[in-house]
Structure 1
Amino acid sequence: MQQLNLSKAFTLIEPGPVVLVTTRDGKKDNIMTISWTMVMDFTPVFAITTGEWNHSFAALRKNRECVIAIPTVDLLDKVVGIGTCSGADTDKFSKFKLTPVQAKLVRPPLIQECLANMECKVIDIVKKHNIVVLEAVAAYIDTTRKEKRTVHAVGDGTFIVDGRRIDRKKMMASKLPWGI
């Protein structure tokens, strides 16, 4: 085996899929791209890593709510574009021609073009590690959408696209929560 520079180790387990997180600061909606996400339990509790460097973080901290929208591979250039500009001076919904849809339980909007959206409340912020813990309070999926492949960031500017789904539900039945 060839030794890998330790500063690149994260590229081996970079989570996914890449998501879009919408926030509302009280005046306007914003979108940020996040590739550092984590499922924390079988309940709808998730975490994202973000902090002061992201314009949306102030709205997350103040209003304690957001939407996690899951884009598909056909939106990859928009997802990257969103992640490379700031909501401080850019209306990202307009610039990237995305449609905001009013959420039912939170103020930030869903994104119409995404495969799925989850309305979330912030339940904790772990400042030491810049982890924002979220509880989903509503979830939606567009089952009519033809493109369903999500993308996963490697962390070096490249992405991996979901492929074929392999079913092992029977083998894992004893470890899966009821109803899955």
Structure 2
Amino acid sequence: MQTLPLAQAFTLLEPGPVVLVTTHDGHRPNVMTISWTMVMDFTPVFAITTGPWNHSFAALRQQRECVIAIPTVDMLDTVVGIGTCSGLDTDKFVQFDLHSEPGRQVKAPLIGQCLANIECLVTDIIEPYCIVVLEAVAAHIDPLRKERRAIHAIGDGSFIVDGRKFDRRAMMASKLPPGV
């Protein structure tokens, strides 16, 4: 085996998919790109990592809600573009022609172009690590969307796209929760 610099170790574990997180600060919506996400058990509880360096963090902290929108590979350039500018001086919904749809449970908007949207409430912010714990209160998927491949960030400016799906549901049946 070859030595990998420790500064690059995170690229081996970088989770996925890359998501868009929308917020609403009480005046206007914003959206940011996030690649640091985590599913917490088989419940509708998730975590994202962000902090004061992102304009949306203040809205997350104050409004305690957001939407996790799941883009597909056909949106890759839009996703990267959203992640490389700030909502402080850019209306990203206008800049990237995002179709804002009202949430049913939260003020943060859904993104119509995305495969799925999950409306969430902030239940905790773990300060030393800027981990935002979210509980889903509604979920939406576009069953007619042809492109369904999610984007996974490596962390070095390159991406991997979902590929072939392998079904092992029968083998794992005893470990899966009801309804999954």
TM-score range, shorter chain: over 0.9
Map 1:161-180 onto structure 2 (within 5 A). Answer: 161-180=161-180
Aligned to 2:40: 40
Summarize deviations over 1:102-121 as a string: whole Å, max 9, x none: 00100000000000000000
Map 1:135-174 onto structure 2 (within 5 A). Answer: 135-174=135-174
Runs of 4+, deviation exceeding 2 Å: none
Aligned to 2:131: 131
Q: Distance in 1 between matches of 2:127 and 2:109?
A: 26
Aligned to 1:86: 86
SS state at 2:172 partner: helix
Map 1:46-125 onto structure 2 (within 5 A). Answer: 46-125=46-125
SS state at 2:107 partner: coil
Q: How many residue pairs were aligned? A: 180
Q: Distance in 2 between matches of 1:50 and 1:16?
A: 15
- What is the root-mean-square deviation of aligned Cα atoms in Å? 0.4
SS state at 2:3 partner: coil
* 1:32 positional shift: 0.2
Q: Distance in 1 between matches of 2:61 and 2:133?
A: 11
Q: Distance in 1 between matches of 2:76 and 2:92?
A: 14
Identity of aligned residues (%): 71
* 1:41 positional shift: 1.5
Summarize deviations over 1:33-91 as a string: whole Å, max 9, x none: 00000001111000000000000000000000000000000000000000000000000
Q: Distance in 2 between matches of 1:8 and 1:139?
A: 34
TM superposition score normalised by structure 1: 0.99
Structure 2 stretches of 5 or more lacking a match? none
TM superposition score normalised by structure 2: 0.99
Letter in 2 for 1:31: V
